[in-house]
């Protein structure tokens, strides 16, 4: 099966920010290509977040959506987090739902409630009223943040762009916000499969426009977040999700590593591989060695420390880091990360201890 696979070509071809040898040969980029590294690279989902006092100070001056849409602030929190933690990649500060606005949805981040979509998609008529995304121009604030961040980061520190995967975005659009049971999503999926596929296809056409614009702006790799896809059976994933995720990934610029991440996907790993991606994310619910064996050693993997263990102690953190590194077995292509994002109450000193342990225990 054809997939987007990283090559030895430059991964950022912007004229004002050419790829340097230092970026191309950084541990993170080498791991994406399954090449040997001096130590296992590590970065953390939500590494810029409420657990950091400095982030909370920025958030106190603005709303979450305004922070996402203000390139200077988005760049500031991105760069600070990466430098403070000493991680091997930065990820641009944004949100997976920003792409919903150009599609015609009314998005709000309500205090204490999280994201709310005021005009959810529940019927075929609702799908028909969505706008086709012709370009990423309306999301240019994200690209501006990437350009500013790329200029501010160290020249050997890669920057990751990202977007939500088709299923997770569709679920937010249909549910109108967060969900525990995905009643509206699964009802539309099974009761009107034509409307479902039309919605997923529209999202899958929009995502490469957005991600390729992020790459053009200065991202060295991109990640698709399918945070909710673990609610599906393998049969439902194959029929209702796989073709659309495959379509989106195939249209991302060749030569740029794609990280395909999901949670609760222990029953779906072979299907995630089939859907595409150069790096497949593993959460904490499956041992890393078992997950990698099932995915195949011709793909890199990312994961898979349980983020709740960051509430324990540096000694316990170090023990579990060592266990995961042992499961990876020194095989090229492991990027250390959490099973999902850092939680707001996480002690910063424990996050620092995690990064230090990964670097120290994995050094070749």
The tens digit of pLDDT for each residue in 54-113 reads 999 999 999 999 999 999 999 999 999 999 999 999 999 999 999 999 999 999 998 777
Confidence class for position 143, pLDDT limits 50, 70, 90: very high
Catalytic residue flag (residue 95): yes
With beta carbons less than 8 A apart as the criterion, state whether 62 and 68 touch: no
Max Cα-Cα span within the chain: 57
Q: Active site includes 137?
A: no
pLDDT at 5 over 60: no
33, 34, 46, 299: the catalytic one is 46
Phi-psi category of 182—alpha, beta or left, where left has phi over 0 and alpha has psi -120 to 50?
left
Catalytic residue among 51, 55, 80, 172: 172
Q: Which of 87-96, 112-121, 160-169, 295-304 has the lowest mean pLDDT?
A: 112-121
pLDDT at 7 over 80: no
pLDDT at residue number 284: 97
pLDDT at 14: 40
Select which of 39, 59, 192, 306 is catalytic.
Answer: 59
Model pLDDT, residue 37 = 98
66-to-61, 62, 104, 133, 279 alpha-carbon distances in Å? 10, 6, 19, 22, 31
Mean pLDDT of 29-40: 98
User: Active site residue: 51, 88, 95, 273, which one?
Assistant: 95
- Our answer to whether residue 363 is catalytic in this structure is no
Least confident among 14-28, 85-99, 168-182, 314-328: 14-28
pLDDT band for 19, please (50, 70, 90 cuts).
Answer: low
pLDDT confidence tier of residue 11, bands split at 50, 70 and 90: very low
Domains and CATH numbers, the chain: 21-362 (3.20.20.210)
pLDDT tens, residue by residue, 178-195: 999 999 999 999 999 999
Asked if the model's pLDDT at residue 209 lies above 60, the reply is: yes
- 59 given a catalytic annotation: yes
Among candidate residues 252, 254, 248, 241, the one with its CA nearest the CA of residue 189:
241
pLDDT at 18 over 90: no
Q: What is the pLDDT of residue 112?
A: 72
User: Chain-wide mean pLDDT for the chain?
Assistant: 94
The percent of residues above 70 in pLDDT, for the chain, comes to: 95
CA dihedral of residues 115, 116, 122, 127 (deg, nearest 10):
-80
């Amino acid at each position: 099966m054809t997939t987007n696979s990283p090559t030895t070509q430059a991964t950022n071809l912007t004229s004002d920010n050419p790829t340097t040898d230092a970026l191309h040969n950084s541990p993170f980029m080498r791991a994406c290509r399954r090449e040997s590294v001096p130590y296992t690279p590590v970065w953390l989902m939500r590494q810029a977040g409420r657990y950091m006092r400095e982030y909370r100070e920025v958030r106190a001056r603005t709303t979450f959506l305004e922070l996402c849409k203000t390139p200077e602030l988005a760049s500031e929190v991105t760069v600070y987090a990466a430098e403070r933690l000493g991680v091997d990649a930065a990820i641009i500060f944004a949100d997976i739902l920003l792409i919903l606005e150009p599609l015609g949805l009314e998005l709000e981040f309500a205090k204490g409630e999280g994201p709310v979509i005021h005009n959810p998609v529940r019927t075929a008529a609702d799908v028909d009223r969505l706008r086709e995304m012709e370009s990423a121009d309306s999301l240019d604030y994200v690209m501006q943040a990437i350009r500013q961040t790329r200029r501010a980061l160290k020249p050997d520190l890669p920057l990751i762009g990202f977007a939500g995967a088709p299923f997770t975005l569709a679920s937010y659009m249909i549910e109108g916000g967060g969900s525990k049971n995905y009643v509206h999503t699964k009802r539309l999926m099974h009761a009107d499969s034509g409307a479902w596929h039309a919605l997923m296809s529209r999202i899958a056409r929009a995502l490469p426009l957005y991600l390729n614009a992020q790459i053009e702006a200065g991202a060295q790799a991109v990640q698709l977040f399918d945070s909710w896809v673990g609610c599906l059976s393998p049969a439902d994933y194959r029929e209702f999700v796989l073709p659309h995720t495959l379509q989106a990934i195939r249209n991302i610029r060749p030569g740029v590593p794609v990280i395909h991440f999901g949670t609760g996907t222990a029953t779906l790993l072979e299907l995630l591989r089939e859907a595409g991606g150069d790096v497949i994310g593993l959460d904490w619910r499956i041992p890393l060695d078992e997950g990698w064996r099932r995915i195949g050693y011709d793909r890199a993997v990312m994961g898979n420390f349980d983020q709740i263990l960051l509430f324990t102690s540096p000694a316990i953190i170090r023990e579990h880091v060592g266990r995961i590194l042992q499961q990876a077995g020194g095989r090229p292509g492991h990027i250390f990360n959490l099973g999902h994002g850092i939680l707001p109450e996480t002690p910063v000193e424990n996050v620092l201890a995690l990064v230090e342990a990964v670097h120290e225990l994995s050094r070749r």
